[in-house]
Amino acid sequence: MIYYKTAAEIERIRESALIVSKTLGMLASEIKPGVTTSHLDKLAEAFIHDHGAEPGFLGLYGFPNTLCTSPNGGVVHGIPNAEPLAEGDILSVDCGVRKDGFCGDQAYTFEVGEVAPALRHLLQVTRECLYKGIAAFRAGNRTGDVGHAIQKHAEDHGYSVVRELVGHGLGRKMHEDPQLPNYGKCGRGKKLREGLVAAIEPMVNSGTEKVERSEDGWTIKTSDGKASAHFEHDVAIVNGKPEILSSFTYVRHALGIKSDGSAPFDSEMPSSTAT
């Protein structure tokens, strides 16, 4: 069952989404060689509490931490651990919060120190996939239009999209209907309507699309061990068009990145932080 949100509900989801965005921005300054993901997890948990919210993943389906941290061939759902990050790694960080009964959910793949050009290209294309998907997230389109836009851009660059994990509706629950696969056919799937809020989250692999679950029961990794990237925004359909509720502005600020392809979506820039 799909719950379409009122303008007031969308504002509350935006509040939660921006707390996640700020958390990712804080982490962006901390992610460097030698740092452990369990350290990042503790920082994030304290930061979220300091902002009047609760970690949204901690305890969700039994997940043990605040962050999902998935380095290199990790796709999603990695458990933070005591292994230090190494120069040249990439690290996907997925974070959720809950505040006043509404959820935010956002992911970003970070570079650890100096990263090989081929990996940087994977991150760039995955970010572009995210914005292609968002552009297709509008009233009258269908979920297949979003998936198709993401899949086509990834495959045009020789990458593959993960099939087993999907984007999703977002609201009082972290995962609501409809599912938003990162692949699909135009004109297929559920129709998108005013008031729909969803987490759009391409997971793009440099090698095979196939993934498997690790022995820890959580971590999803690529079957061939090749790198995977993950970027996620929370998006509402307002006046028929996509409005990004989360923001990478805080991450961009921390990393000194001027532009990442979000330019067509000006509402992504909260006025208080836009530069």
Q: Which residues contact Mg ion (rule: CB under 5 A)?
A: 94, 105, 107, 199, 201, 232
Residue 58 neighbours by CB under 8 Å, 6+ apart: 45, 64, 65, 66
Beta bridge partners of 109: 92
Can you spell out the DSSP letters for 42-109? HHHHHHHHHTT-EESSTTGGG--SSEEEEETTEEE-PPP-SPBP-TT-EEEEEEEEEETTEEEEEEEE
Supply the minimum distance, in Å, between the C-beta of residue 103 and Mg ion: 9
Quote the tokens at residue 2: 């799909």
Q: Closer to Mg ion at the Cβ: 88 or 179?
A: 179
Quote the tokens at residue 121: 């290209």
Supply the minimum distance, in Å, between the C-beta of residue 45 and Mg ion: 16
DSSP H helices, 92-204, are 117-135, 143-156
Supply the minimum distance, in Å, between the C-beta of residue 268 and Mg ion: 17
| Residue that has been written with the tokens 């902002």 in this structure | 51
Q: Closer to Mg ion at the Cβ: 41 or 113?
A: 41
What one-character DSSP code corresponds to residue 196? -
Q: Closer to Mg ion at the Cβ: 92 or 160?
A: 92
Q: Closer to Mg ion at the Cβ: 2 or 240?
A: 2
CA 245/CA 162 separation, integer angstroms = 24
Closest CA to 95 of 204, 19, 178: 19
Supply the minimum distance, in Å, between the C-beta of residue 53 and Mg ion: 15
Q: Closer to Mg ion at the Cβ: 44 or 107?
A: 107
CA 116/CA 109 separation, integer angstroms = 14
- Nearest 5°: CA angle at 228, between 207 and 135? 105
Q: Closer to Mg ion at the Cβ: 10 or 68?
A: 68
Supply the minimum distance, in Å, between the C-beta of residue 158 and Mg ion: 25
Supply the minimum distance, in Å, between the C-beta of residue 68 and Mg ion: 7
Supply the minimum distance, in Å, between the C-beta of residue 105 and Mg ion: 4
Q: Closer to Mg ion at the Cβ: 105 or 111?
A: 105
What are the angstrom distances between the C-alpha of 24 and each of 40, 44, 106, 227, 241? Answer: 10, 8, 8, 21, 26
